[in-house]
Structure 1
Amino acid sequence: MVVKTSKQSRGFDIIGDIHGCAHTLELLLQQMGYQKLNGVYRHPRRQAIFIGDIIDRGPHIREALHLVRDMVEHGSARIVMGNHEYNAMGYCTRARPGSGKTFLREHNDRHNRLIRETLEQFDPYPHEWNEFLDWFYTIPLFIEEEDFRVVHACWDQELIDKFRRIHPDGRIDEEFLHASAALESFAGQVMDTLLRGTDLRLPEGMSITGADGYVREFFRTKFWSENPQTYADVVFQPDPLPPEVARRKLSDEERQQLLFYPPEAPPVFVGHYWMEGQPAPLKHNVACIDYSAVKNDKMVAYRMDGERVLSKDKFVWIDVDTPERPDAPATEDSVAR
């Protein structure tokens, strides 16, 4: 798989987080003109690009993985890694002796809950799950075309350039996975930023409690906000900040921590953030296409044809009629590690 390619004449359909909603995904593909030929969805003139997070939460995770992998292996789709695929790799990989851990991602109550549906649905098919874990290593962290970019949560040019110098194909290996377990390491920074996004720490002594009951001392931030003045200008997560926190002025040090995606850069597509409402670009060259399908909202795609200015008219979606996981907190993975 080539991570950076020259401009092609075909169009691209960038599809948001799936989270086990395989049946809704099929409806979306059919709506966009993809047809199942010899068991694989294909389009004569377009290619799908999945934003990651195929697994966890939903009722048809195994079916979703097979559908997506079949499309990727037959060239009718590409994919970038989501934080849930990365989490699964760490959860299922034993830590090395002397690390002080049993697994790279500890099997605590919260982590067990996040991956529960995936492991339950693959319980009768352990060999398949192991094959998918191996397949996850073939998934790049980002895709860069001449006229657009795709990453699960955040495009950080400096991190991507450094990562590409040691991993030109954009994929991680087992050594990088082990290194990323240390969040302060370069590998940890790459995985946390590209797959989970950027954040700011709240002032000392402050914390916020999300809808999932998880207490946090940081909040997720936009990577495209130009000249922000307050916390409200940069917060980007399902849980709002308390008004007194949102009004707080950003310090010079906090401003320096923020990323800014340049307005002249090619359009970038992300998922991850549990958007709601009518799909539309966040900025003329930034779009989030995760609209909470598994929470009974929308499964969304953007039909990209090389435009430099994104349009709300290029979004397509399927309204999900029945809740896939009504008890799953919408904030749990977008603002927590």
Structure 2
Amino acid sequence: MAGQRPAAQRGFDIIGDIHGCAHTLERLLDRMGYRKVNGVYRHPSRQAIFIGDIIDRGPRIREALHLVRDMVEHGSARIVMGNHEYNALGYCTRARAGSGKTWLREHTPRHNRLIKETLEQFDAYPHEWNEFLEWFYTIPLFIEDEDFRVVHACWDGDLIEKFKALQGGPYIDDDFLHASAAIESFAGQVMDTLLRGTDLRLPEGMSITGRDGYVREFFRTKFWADNPRTYADVVFQPDPLPPEVASQVLTDRERAQLISYPIDAPPVFVGHYWMEGEPAPLKSNVACIDFSAVKYGRLVAYRFDGEKALSPDKFVWVEVERPEAPDYPTSEDSVAR
């Protein structure tokens, strides 16, 4: 199949978190030479790879999902699951009897707020939403090609190998989804690590209030840090640590919790982290391509052609216009299938 050819024979365009910014995605695809053929975006010699988080927050979620799914189903794109697709599955799946819960992902005020725009935009199309929920099960957690890797938030090689041995491939099923509702379980650790990243607990009694208003007792960490010494060497999140915390030296126990990404491993691409500024590799073989599109940042892609060392020159992006598009489709005919 053409989509499985090695990178040396076909270029790949890895595209960051979309979050319902469908018009911006169309502009980015157009800039990279993709054109609509029979209603589906295609490139004559390249394939798009979506990093996940197509849904939630943005104004044209339904349109974005149709666009992306059509590309995937016609072989002009691939995709990995984002934490928001996973969250949607849990939010919309009833817990099994005896679990003590009604839904796998409880309908708390925060969870309601995160999925609000998605459910509202599909309110008149419940059959479509159910189809997309089924489609989410067909999305792999990661892509592992000979020349590169793609995962939404964190490449944990040991965890991925154990997952493949259990599941026989990169996909979850209904049983795994239910098992993952327990965060301390193996399934819970897989979904939390690969789709949300790694973290460390803050010192006793300390918490951080993020720009989103959410109070956290943990901070997100790099999975590629080489020989880190302090919290500042490993922190990787939009909200900075207080200086007195950032300078704290990592304990042996904390260092043992961290994972690393070898410098000789194939390039890996992630999204998820709300980056800002000029896109550039985080390391010669690590790149984040989420640059806060839905917060009027940039929708970014990396144009990969098999290189072992990633280059700042291979990033391409479009600025997100204000507003991206306040009027999402309201009729059955407004979204091409």
* Partner SS state of residue 290, structure 2: coil
Contact 1:16 1:300 in 2 (8 A): yes
* Partner SS state of residue 200, structure 1: strand
Greater alpha carbon shift after TM alignment, 58-67 vs 317-326 = 317-326
Distance 2:106 2:2 in 1: 33
Deviation at 1:209, TM superposition (A): 1.3
Contact 1:152 1:271 in 2 (8 A): yes
Distance 2:5 2:75 in 1: 14
Question: Cα–Cα, structure 1 residues 188 and 4, in superposed 2: closer, same or farther, change >3 Å?
Answer: farther
Distance 1:229 1:8 in 2: 38
Greater alpha carbon shift after TM alignment, 203-212 vs 259-268 = 203-212
Deviation at 1:213, TM superposition (A): 2.1
Distance 2:48 2:168 in 1: 23
* Partner SS state of residue 284, structure 2: coil
Unaligned 5+ segments in structure 2 are 327-337
Matched with 2:11 is 11
Matched with 2:115 is 115
Deviation at 1:64, TM superposition (A): 0.2
Matched with 1:173 is 173
Matched with 1:335 is none
Deviation at 1:212, TM superposition (A): 2.0
Matched with 1:189 is 189
Number of aligned residue pairs: 326
Q: How does 1:96-107 map to 2 (within 5 A)?
A: 96-107=96-107
Deviation at 1:322, TM superposition (A): 1.0
Moved over 4 A (4+): 1-8, 323-326
Does 1:227 find its partner at 2:227?
yes
After superposition, give the CA deviation of every residue in 1:235-294 in whole Å (9 maximum; x if it has no partner).
000000011100111001000000110000000000000000000000000000000000
Distance 1:98 1:232 in 2: 44
Question: Cα–Cα, structure 1 residues 196 and 323, in superposed 2: closer, same or farther, change >3 Å?
Answer: farther
* Partner SS state of residue 68, structure 1: helix
Question: Cα–Cα, structure 1 residues 235 and 3, in superposed 2: closer, same or farther, change >3 Å?
Answer: farther
Q: Report percent identity of matched pairs.
A: 79
Q: Which amino acid counterpart does residue 296 of structure 2 have in structure 1?
A: N
Question: Cα–Cα, structure 1 residues 158 and 182, in superposed 2: closer, same or farther, change >3 Å?
Answer: same
Greater alpha carbon shift after TM alignment, 5-14 vs 248-257 = 5-14
Deviation at 1:309, TM superposition (A): 0.2
Unaligned 5+ segments in structure 1 are 327-337
Contact 1:2 1:169 in 2 (8 A): no
Matched with 1:320 is 320
Question: Cα–Cα, structure 1 residues 25 and 120, in superposed 2: closer, same or farther, change >3 Å?
Answer: same
* Partner SS state of residue 150, structure 1: strand
Deviation at 1:324, TM superposition (A): 5.0
Distance 1:72 1:168 in 2: 22
TM-score scaled to structure 1, two decimals? 0.94
Q: Which amino acid counterpart does residue 275 of structure 2 have in structure 1?
A: M
Deviation at 1:8, TM superposition (A): 5.0
Greater alpha carbon shift after TM alignment, 158-167 vs 84-93 = 158-167
Matched with 2:333 is none
After superposition, give the CA deviation of every residue in 1:270-326 in whole Å (9 maximum; x if it has no partner).
000000000000000000000000000100000000000000000000011215599
* Partner SS state of residue 199, structure 2: strand
Matched with 1:334 is none
Q: How does 1:62-101 map to 2 (within 5 A)?
A: 62-101=62-101
Question: Cα–Cα, structure 1 residues 5 and 168, in superposed 2: closer, same or farther, change >3 Å?
Answer: farther
Distance 1:311 1:275 in 2: 17
Q: How does 1:24-43 map to 2 (within 5 A)?
A: 24-43=24-43
Distance 1:168 1:225 in 2: 30
Deviation at 1:210, TM superposition (A): 1.2
Contact 1:295 1:324 in 2 (8 A): no
* Partner SS state of residue 190, structure 1: helix
Matched with 1:329 is none
Contact 2:141 2:194 in 1 (8 A): yes
* Partner SS state of residue 116, structure 1: helix
Distance 1:238 1:143 in 2: 26
Deviation at 1:21, TM superposition (A): 0.3
RMSD: 1.7
Q: Which amino acid counterpart does residue 39 of structure 2 have in structure 1?
A: G
